[in-house]
Amino acid sequence: MRKLAILPALFAAGPALAATGPFVSLWNTNFVVLIAFVIFVGLLLVLGVPKILGNMLDKRADTIRGELDDAKALREEAQTILASYERKQKEVAEQSERIVAKAKEEARQAAEQAKADLEASMARRMAGAEEQIASAEARAVKEVKDQAVVVAVAAAREVIAKQMTAQAANKMIDDSIAAVESKLH
């Protein structure tokens, strides 16, 4: 029905009426072109070209729809991956902050430990130095006492030697021998 509705519109065309001579004549080029066009359109309709073109357009539409669906799926997957990477990046950032905080705390504790160790080392060295000073002082006092004893013995020997006579020396030797005999027996 639709095919027949086109024909009256073709005959009502303005240039077809402008031709000279009878319109329905093989000598009129407009009429020949019109007949060729109608035959061509009829041939296209008989061969089913509109149906083939419609099927091709439908296939193309289906292909495009499939590509759009694939693109939508890829977009959703990309958004999921992006969200995953953003979450992982956030976790890594938080973990790095924890690591930095832990490292700062360990550094602070190490500094405190080093300070305490230094103070203990200084205290040990001070105690060692005080011991060395006390030892040197005791050694000096002993040496002075030893020297005083040596000087006192020498002075006593000299005084005794000047005051001692041969008779008194013999008496002392005899008294010493008697004291040893009484203690040994």
Amino acid letter, residue 145: K
Query: 56 vs 26, which has greater pLDDT?
Result: 56
- Which percentage of the chain shows pLDDT scores above 70? 88
- Distance CA(107)–CA(113), nearest Å, equals 10
- What average pLDDT does this structure show over 35-61? 94
- What average pLDDT does this structure show over 22-45? 89
Residues 6+ apart with CB under 8 A from 15: 30
Residue 99 belongs to what H/E stretch? helix 49-163
pLDDT given for residue 21 in this prediction: 63
Render pLDDT for 3-15 as a digit per residue (tens, 0 to 9): 544 545 445 555 5
Q: Among residues 68, 91, 87, which one has the least CA distance to residue 79?
A: 87
Residue 63 has pLDDT above 70, yes or no: yes
Residue 133 has pLDDT above 70, yes or no: yes
Average pLDDT score over the chain: 85
For residue 119, give the 3-state DSSP assignment: helix
Render pLDDT for 142-151 as a digit per residue (tens, 0 to 9): 888 888 888 8
Render pLDDT for 67-103 as a digit per residue (tens, 0 to 9): 999 999 999 999 999 999 999 999 999 999 999 999 9
pLDDT given for residue 167 in this prediction: 81
- Distance CA(60)–CA(63), nearest Å, equals 5
Q: Among residues 72, 109, 175, 173, which one has the least CA distance to residue 183?
A: 175
Residue 1 has pLDDT above 60, yes or no: no
- Distance CA(110)–CA(102), nearest Å, equals 12
Distances (CA, A) of 43 to 13, 37, 47: 22, 10, 6
pLDDT given for residue 183 in this prediction: 80
Residue 164 has pLDDT above 90, yes or no: no
